[in-house]
Amino acid sequence: MSGKSVTMRAIFINCFLFQAGFFVFASGANLPLFEQLTFLEEARHDAEQGISSFASEVMQLQHHIDLYKDRFVLLGLDEFARSTNPDEGTALVQAVTSYFNQLRGFTIIATHYDDVAEEAKRHYRVRGFSHVDEQVTQELALSNEPLLKLQKYMDYRLDLVLSKEQIPKEARLICRTFRLEPEILSYMEKKITKENM
């Protein structure tokens, strides 16, 4: 759950630096020269045109497909289709992943949707809070400075996922850390427990 956007930005900053002939923030790097680097994040909907955030995202993506589909590009999609329902969003991001697998360049997609990696050539996951144990969870919950504590334990390193592993679910940890209303947390826990039965 955590760190995807920050990690994608770091990748793109390094690629931009490399393209411009500067050193990258790494001990070493082996990167191709791309014809274009494009990083698409949250689309701004145009209220004057009367379109939704989702429609704006789709228009923006199609614009870039039209411009670059025959070129060697690096395209980043940060939470594409986040503003539509989960079923259609998952199917759409799977379709986009499958489509971009056929093109010459590289596409990096960060998503919360499950099962998108089935269509990907490679699947990486940010470590996030996967190393956090119950003791650290208690420390976070009791902290007077939850944001600083959370940042301390966040691990932005990427791991290659080789099998169909369970996607880490970190929302509860974050909700507890920031002391979200107990009634809301309790309801959330019951829903998750019920769905996992």
Whether 105 and 21 map to the same domain: the answer is yes
- Asked if pLDDT for residue 167 goes beyond 70, the answer is no
The model's pTM is: 0.80
Domain match, 131 and 94 both: no
* Residue 168 pLDDT class (50, 70, 90 cuts): low
Mean pLDDT score, 122-141: 79
What is the reported pLDDT for 75?
94
Domain assignment of residue 187, yes or no: no
Would you say residue 101 lies in a domain?
yes
**Range 91-98 average pLDDT:** 93
Same domain (yes/no): 81, 149: no
Q: Is the same domain home to 43 and 110? A: yes
DSSP string, 49-116: TT--HHHHHHHHHHHHHHHHTTS-EEEEEESTTTTS-HHHHHHHHHHHHHHHHTSSSEEEEE---TTG
Same-domain pairing of 41 and 135: no
Do 16 and 110 lie in one domain? The reply is yes
